[in-house]
Structure formats: C-alpha cells, structure tokens
C-alpha cells in the first residue's frame, strides 16, 4: 500500500513556489536554511546479543527491546553548502527551539542574510519564537504548506540518519544515541553536498488539484488511487548531488 496526504492549505501553490524559489534561485549574499526537528528518537537496546554472523546468513536481532528514553534532534541544513547544524535536546518545546535558534545565529557569519524554511509545527509559530525573530531582523521565515513536510530539504537528511544509523542501531542510553547522531552529522559535514531541487512545481500543483477533485467527487474508488499515485510520482524526491558548475 502506498500512502499519500493532500495539503488543505489554501495558500499551497503560493507557499510551494516561494520555497522552491529559494532552492532554485536563492538571494545573493544569503544563507538558505532548511530547519526542522525530528522528535521521539528512541534509544533502544535489544534484550540479547545478535547471533554470530556466518556466510550467507542474514543479520539477526531479538524481536523485543529495552527503551532508554527519547531525544529530539533540531537541525538546520544549509541548502547551498549541504552542511547541517544539529543539536539534541530532551524536549521539543519553544524554549528548546529558541536555544537552537541562538546556536544557529551564532554559527552564521556576520553580514549574511538568513532565509529560513520552517514547517507548520506549533512551536515554530509560538509568540516567543516570533519575538525572537523580531529581534533578529536578518532572519526571514518561509513556511511550507500544511501537510507538506516533504518540501523541507532537511527531511532528506533525517531520512538518511534514520536509515543509515538509527534504524539498526543498539543504544544502551540517551548519551549513546546522542553521540551517534553527533558523529553522523560530523561525518556528513565532512563531505557535504548541496541540495538540488528537480521537481516541476506546476506538475505538483496540478496533481494536488486532481487529487482534491477526485476525493470530492466520490464517483469512483479507483480514481483517487490513481491520482494519489500520480501525486506521489511528482512530489519532490529529496536527494543531494553536487551542484553543476557554471
């Protein structure tokens, strides 16, 4: 079964074009940051050691595990360079987000304008977060449409982190999983790759319109499935590759 989610944001097209514009034609002398948080990262340890590896035998692990708590990763990916600023925190309230923003602010060179792409998570729009942004006029915030987290470039980094380090990891404490995340970020920053947008926003907008029309019609069962597949085929496939030299 393939999953999909249609955005109900009335400003979907405008927000989509705004964010894509930052990816394909960023402002001069600006740092474009894709900012988001990955919450509920679990520190899991298996109840027994895996069986010894043998040629032709797949890796093994117990079906059950022990929980050692959760952590939240706040991350900001520089779209043009590919490097990631990340911090792990125990919770994901506006207080922690402001602490992370302070860390990002300190890491950005003076004189650079910051164009930040954020999701619609409630913390991002908290009054104290808005007040922080007002006190830092070099920051301009661009929100992705609702139910469109795939538009945020840093989601690709989160996906790689989960697949390559967290999913099969064994962590006996929060300290261990946080250390693993820090090492992954450091390794990724050692060979950064700029984010390259390849999808046509017009096709995404048209596919979303067809999806809403199909869901509203209630005429056929097969039609929404076909349209959902069409939407999935044109939604951005977050990937990184070296930028073309001009």
18 is a domain residue: yes
- Span 120-139, pLDDT tens digits: 888 888 999 999 999 999 99
56 is a domain residue: no
Q: pLDDT value at position 120?
A: 83
Torsion sign (Cα): 114, 196, 212, 18? positive
Q: Which region among 39-48, 80-89, 145-154 has the lowest average model confidence (pLDDT)?
A: 39-48
206 is a domain residue: no
229 is a domain residue: no
The confidence band for 226, taking pLDDT boundaries of 50, 70 and 90, is low
Could you tell me the pTM of the whole model? 0.81
Q: Decide if pLDDT at 14 tops 60.
A: yes
Q: Decide if pLDDT at 161 tops 50.
A: yes
65: β partners: 46
Q: Decide if pLDDT at 60 tops 80.
A: no
Query: 28, 80 in Cβ contact below 8 A?
Result: no
119 is a domain residue: yes
Distance in angstroms (rounded) separating the CA atoms of residues 139 and 238: 25
54 is a domain residue: no
Q: Decide if pLDDT at 169 tops 60.
A: yes
53 is a domain residue: no
Q: Decide if pLDDT at 17 tops 60.
A: yes
Distance in angstroms (rounded) separating the CA atoms of residues 226 and 235: 14
The confidence band for 238, taking pLDDT boundaries of 50, 70 and 90, is very low
Distance in angstroms (rounded) separating the CA atoms of residues 171 and 70: 11
The H or E element containing residue 240 is none
- Span 181-214, pLDDT tens digits: 999 999 999 999 999 999 999 999 898 888 888 8
With tokens 């650079």, the residue in question is 112
| H-only helix segments in 74-221 | 94-107, 127-135, 154-161, 174-190, 201-217
- Span 38-55, pLDDT tens digits: 998 988 888 777 777 778
Mode of pairing for the β-strands spanning 84-89 and 113-118 = unpaired
Q: pLDDT value at position 117?
A: 96
44: β partners: 67
Which structural domain, as residue segments, surrounds residue 152?
12-46+64-196
2 is a domain residue: no
CATH number at 42 reads 3.30.420.10
Q: pLDDT value at position 56?
A: 80
Q: How many domains does the chain have?
A: 1
């Amino acid at each position: 079964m393939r999953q999909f989610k249609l955005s109900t944001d009335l400003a979907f097209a405008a927000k989509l074009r705004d964010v894509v514009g930052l990816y394909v034609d960023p402002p001069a002398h600006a740092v474009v940051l894709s900012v988001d948080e990955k919450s509920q990262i679990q520190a899991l340890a298996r109840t027994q050691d895996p069986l010894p590896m043998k040629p032709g035998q797949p890796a093994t692990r117990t079906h059950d595990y022990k929980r050692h708590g959760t952590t939240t990763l706040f991350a900001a990916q520089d779209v043009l360079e590919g490097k990631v600023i990340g911090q792990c925190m125990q919770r994901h309230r506006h207080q922690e987000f402001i602490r992370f923003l302070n860390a990002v602010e300190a890491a950005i060179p003076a004189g650079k304008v910051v164009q930040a792409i954020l999701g619609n998570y409630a913390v991002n729009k908290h009054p104290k977060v808005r007040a922080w942004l007002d006190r830092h006029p070099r920051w301009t915030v661009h929100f992705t449409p609702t139910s469109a987290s795939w538009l945020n470039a840093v989601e690709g980094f989160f996906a790689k982190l989960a697949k390559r380090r967290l999913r099969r990891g064994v962590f006996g404490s929060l300290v261990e999983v946080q250390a693993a995340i820090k090492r992954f970020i450091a390794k990724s920053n050692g060979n950064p790759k700029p984010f390259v947008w390849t999808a046509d926003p017009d096709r995404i907008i048209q596919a979303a319109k067809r999806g809403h029309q199909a869901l509203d019609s209630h005429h056929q069962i097969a039609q929404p499935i076909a349209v959902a597949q069409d939407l999935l085929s044109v939604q951005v496939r977050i990937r990184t590759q070296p930028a073309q030299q001009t």
